[in-house]
C-alpha cells in the first residue's frame, strides 16, 4: 500500500478546481470545505508540508469519508482522493495507534478463523437480551442504551446458523481437502467456482449465500465454499490497520489457492473490490512469489453478477416465473448501484440484466449510484451523519413507487433497510441474486 508520503505527487496534481466537491456526499451534508474531497486533499497537503499536525480536527476529517469514490471518478486530474484518505488513516493508526478495543477486535477476533465464529455465536446468544424485534421488519432495536448503537437504528439480527456453518453440515466432498464443500455434481466440464461469503453474508444474511449457490449451480458451475475463509480485511483497511488487512489477504489467498479454481466469486461488492484490487496493493511488498500468486488470484475474481452474465453466460432462468410471493410479473424493482461495484469494479449493466431476467420490471431511481452512506465503520461511529447521507437515497427509492429495491451488496442492503424504515417506506430490500433464486425451487443437488 502506498504511504501518504508516496501520494505527494498525486496530491500536487490537485488544482483545487472543486469538481469533486459537488459530488462528495459528506460535503453535501455538512456544506463546509474541510468535509469535502478537495478540503481533505488540502489538509493532507498541509500535513505533508508540516503546516499542521495529526490533530483531533485532522483525524475527524479523515474519518468523515464514506469511501464512495465519486470524487476520484469526477476529478479531471485523476487524483485518487479516497486512497489518499486511506493512506492518511494508516498514518494516523501508525502514529497514534488505534483505540484499544478496536485494535483488540481487529487483531484478535477478525483475524482469526477460529475465534471470529465463536465470538459471533456468543453475541448471537445475547442478542435477545440486548435487542427487541422491530414489528414490521426483520430487524432489531436496542432495548436500552448501548455504546455506538443509536436508538433509531434497525440492527440486522445475527443468523441462527451461519452460512459457513450450514455448509459444514452438507454432503461430504470426496476428492477435496477436508473442511471444504462441493455443492454441485462433479463434472470436469463445469467451471470450478470458489465462493467467498464475506462476514455479512456469513453471519447475518446466509440466505444470500444460499441463493448464490442455487443460482450458480443453475448456471452450470461447480461451487466450492471453503470453510476456513476469513474476513476480506476491508474493515481493517478502512480503519487504517494495514497490517491486519495484509494478514487477512495472505490467509485468504492461501485458502483459495488450494483448489484448482477457474473463478472466485462473491455476492458482496465491498469484498469483491477488496479481493480484486486491494489484495494486490496490500501484498505488493511481499516479494515476487506472493505478487505472482496474488495476480493469479485477483485475475480469477468476479462479482457474482459479472460471473453469471459475462463468464457463465447465464441467459435464461429456465424456470416458471411465479405469480405470487416476493416477485410476480407485475413487480416493479428499482436498483441501487453499490459504490464498490459501479465505481470500484465498473459493473452496472450486469445486475440490471439479471433483474430483467427475474421477470420484474426495472424502474430506475433518480440517482441510482448515489452513495447509501454506509462507508464501513463510518455508519457505526457517525450514525447520524451516515443516515443524513442515506436520507436522499431512501427518498429516491420511495419516489419510484417500486415494490422492491434490489442491490448487489449486503452492506448497502442493511443501510438502505434502516433508511427506508426511518422514512416509513415499506419497500422490500433484496439482493439481485435473491430475485433469481426465488424462482428456483429445486434444492441444491449436492454430489452424486
The site for ligand SF4 (CB under 6 A) is made up of: 14-20, 23-26, 37-38, 40-41, 65-71, 74-75, 77, 79, 81-82
Taking the complex as a whole, the smallest distance from the CB of residue 423 to ligand SF4 amounts, in Å, to 22
Query: Which of 87, 3, 4, 1 lies closest to 49 in space, CA to CA?
Result: 4
Instruction: List phi, psi (to 5°) of 68.
Output: -80, -15
Whether residue 428 contacts residue 404, with contact meaning beta carbons closer than 8 Å, is answered with yes
| Residue 62: burial class (beta carbons within 10 Å; 0-12, 13-18, 19+) | buried
Q: Residue 66 or 216: which CB sits closer to ligand SF4?
A: 66
Taking the complex as a whole, the smallest distance from the CB of residue 7 to ligand SF4 amounts, in Å, to 12
Q: CA distances (Å), 387 to each of 144, 154, 378, in order? A: 21, 12, 10
Q: Residue 16 or 123: which CB sits closer to ligand SF4?
A: 16
In sequence order, the 6+-apart residues with CB closer than 8 A to the CB of 101 are: none
Q: Residue 124 or 381: which CB sits closer to ligand SF4?
A: 381
Q: Which three cell numbers stand for residue 115?
A: 475465534
Q: Residue 86 or 248: which CB sits closer to ligand SF4?
A: 86
Q: Rounded CA gap, 111 and 120, in Å?
A: 13
| Residue 278: burial class (beta carbons within 10 Å; 0-12, 13-18, 19+) | buried
Q: Rounded CA gap, 19 and 22, in Å?
A: 6
198 SS3 class: coil
Q: Residue 30 or 423: which CB sits closer to ligand SF4?
A: 30
- How many other C-beta atoms can be found within 10 angstroms of the C-beta atom of residue 132? 13
Q: Residue 222 forms beta bridges with which residues?
A: 192
Q: Residue 23 or 283: which CB sits closer to ligand SF4?
A: 23
Whether residue 181 contacts residue 195, with contact meaning beta carbons closer than 8 Å, is answered with no
Q: Residue 25 or 226: which CB sits closer to ligand SF4?
A: 25
Q: Residue 23 or 223: which CB sits closer to ligand SF4?
A: 23
Q: Residue 77 or 187: which CB sits closer to ligand SF4?
A: 77
405 SS3 class: strand
Q: Is 266 left (phi over 0), alpha (psi -120 to 50) or beta?
A: beta
Q: Residue 16 or 146: which CB sits closer to ligand SF4?
A: 16
Taking the complex as a whole, the smallest distance from the CB of residue 435 to ligand SF4 amounts, in Å, to 28
Taking the complex as a whole, the smallest distance from the CB of residue 424 to ligand SF4 amounts, in Å, to 27
Q: Residue 28 or 157: which CB sits closer to ligand SF4?
A: 28
Taking the complex as a whole, the smallest distance from the CB of residue 337 to ligand SF4 amounts, in Å, to 14
Taking the complex as a whole, the smallest distance from the CB of residue 63 to ligand SF4 amounts, in Å, to 11
Taking the complex as a whole, the smallest distance from the CB of residue 14 to ligand SF4 amounts, in Å, to 3
Taking the complex as a whole, the smallest distance from the CB of residue 20 to ligand SF4 amounts, in Å, to 3
Q: Which residue has the cell 442504551?
A: 145
Helix (H) / strand (E) element for 296: namely helix 288-300
Residue 238 C-beta-side C-alpha neighbours within 13 Å: 22
Q: Rounded CA gap, 430 and 208, in Å?
A: 9
DSSP structural state of residue 45: H
Taking the complex as a whole, the smallest distance from the CB of residue 158 to ligand SF4 amounts, in Å, to 29
Taking the complex as a whole, the smallest distance from the CB of residue 80 to ligand SF4 amounts, in Å, to 9
Helix (H) / strand (E) element for 361: namely strand 361-362
In sequence order, the 6+-apart residues with CB closer than 8 A to the CB of 249 are: 232, 233, 278, 279, 282, 283, 294
Q: Which three cell numbers stand for residue 52?
A: 499542521
Query: Which of 141, 156, 131 lies closest to 429 in space, CA to CA?
Result: 156
Taking the complex as a whole, the smallest distance from the CB of residue 21 to ligand SF4 amounts, in Å, to 7
Amino acid at each position: 500500500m502506498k504511504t501518504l508520503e508516496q501520494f505527494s505527487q498525486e496530491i500536487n496534481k490537485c488544482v483545487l478546481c472543486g469538481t469533486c466537491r459537488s459530488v462528495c456526499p459528506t460535503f453535501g451534508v455538512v456544506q463546509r470545505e474541510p468535509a469535502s474531497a478537495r478540503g481533505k486533499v488540502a489538509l493532507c497537503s498541509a500535513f505533508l508540508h508540516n503546516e499542521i499536525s495529526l490533530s483531533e480536527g485532522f483525524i475527524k476529517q479523515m474519518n468523515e469519508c464514506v469511501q464512495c469514490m465519486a470524487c476520484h471518478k469526477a476529478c479531471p486530474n485523476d487524483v485518487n482522493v479516497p486512497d489518499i484518505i486511506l493512506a492518511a488513516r494508516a498514518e494516523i493508526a501508525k502514529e497514534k495507534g488505534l483505540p484499544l478495543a478496536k485494535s483488540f477486535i481487529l487483531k484478535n477476533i477478525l483475524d482469526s478463523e477460529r475465534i471470529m465464529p465463536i465470538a459471533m455465536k456468543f453475541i448471537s446468544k445475547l442478542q435477545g437480551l440486548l435487542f427487541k424485534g422491530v414489528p414490521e421488519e426483520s430487524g432489531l432495536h436496542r432495548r436500552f442504551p448501548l455504546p455506538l448503537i443509536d436508538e433509531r437504528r434497525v440492527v440486522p439480527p445475527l443468523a441462527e446458523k451461519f452460512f459457513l456453518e450450514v455448509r459444514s453440515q452438507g454432503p461430504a466432498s470426496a476428492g477435496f481437502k477436508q473442511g471444504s464443500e462441493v455443492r454441485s455434481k462433479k463434472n470436469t466440464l463445469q467451471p470450478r467456482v470458489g465462493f467467498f461469503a464475506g462476514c455479512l453474508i456469513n453471519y447475518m444474511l446466509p440466505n444470500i449465500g444460499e441463493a448464490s449457490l442455487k443460482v450458480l449451480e443453475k448456471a452450470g458451475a461447480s461451487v466450492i465454499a471453503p470453510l476456513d475463509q476469513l474476513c476480506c480485511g476491508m474493515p481493517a483497511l478502512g480503519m487504517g490497520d494495514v497490517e491486519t488487512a495484509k494478514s487477512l489477504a495472505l490467509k485468504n489467498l492461501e485458502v483459495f489457492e488450494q483448489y484448482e479454481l477457474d473463478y472466485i466469486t462473491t455476492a458482496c461488492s465491498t469484498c469483491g473490490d477488496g479481493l480484486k484490487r486491494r489484495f494486490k496493493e496490500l501484498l505488493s511488498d511481499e516479494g515476487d512469489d506472493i505478487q505472482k500468486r496474488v495476480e493469479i488470484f485477483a485475475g480469477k475474481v468476479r462479482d457474482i453478477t459479472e460471473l453469471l452474465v459475462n463468464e457463465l453466460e447465464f441467459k435464461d432462468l429456465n424456470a416458471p416465473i411465479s405469480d405470487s410471493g416476493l416477485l410476480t410479473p407485475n413487480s416493479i424493482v428499482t436498483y441501487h448501484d453499490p459504490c464498490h461495484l459501479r465505481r470500484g469494479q465498473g459493473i452496472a449493466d450486469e445486475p440490471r440484466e439479471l433483474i430483467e431476467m427475474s421477470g420484474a420490471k426495472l424502474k430506475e431511481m433518480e440517482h441510482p449510484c448515489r452513495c447509501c452512506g454506509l462507508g464501513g465503520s463510518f455508519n457505526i461511529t457517525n450514525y447520524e451523519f451516515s443516515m443524513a447521507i442515506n436520507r436522499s437515497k431512501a427518498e429516491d427509492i420511495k419516489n419510484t413507487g417500486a415494490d422492491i429495491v434490489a442491490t448487489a451488496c449486503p452492506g448497502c442492503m442493511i443501510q438502505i433497510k434502516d433508511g427506508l424504515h426511518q422514512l416509513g417506506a415499506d419497500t422490500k430490500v433484496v439482493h439481485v441474486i435473491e430475485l433469481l433464486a426465488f424462482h428456483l425451487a429445486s434444492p441444491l443437488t449436492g454430489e452424486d
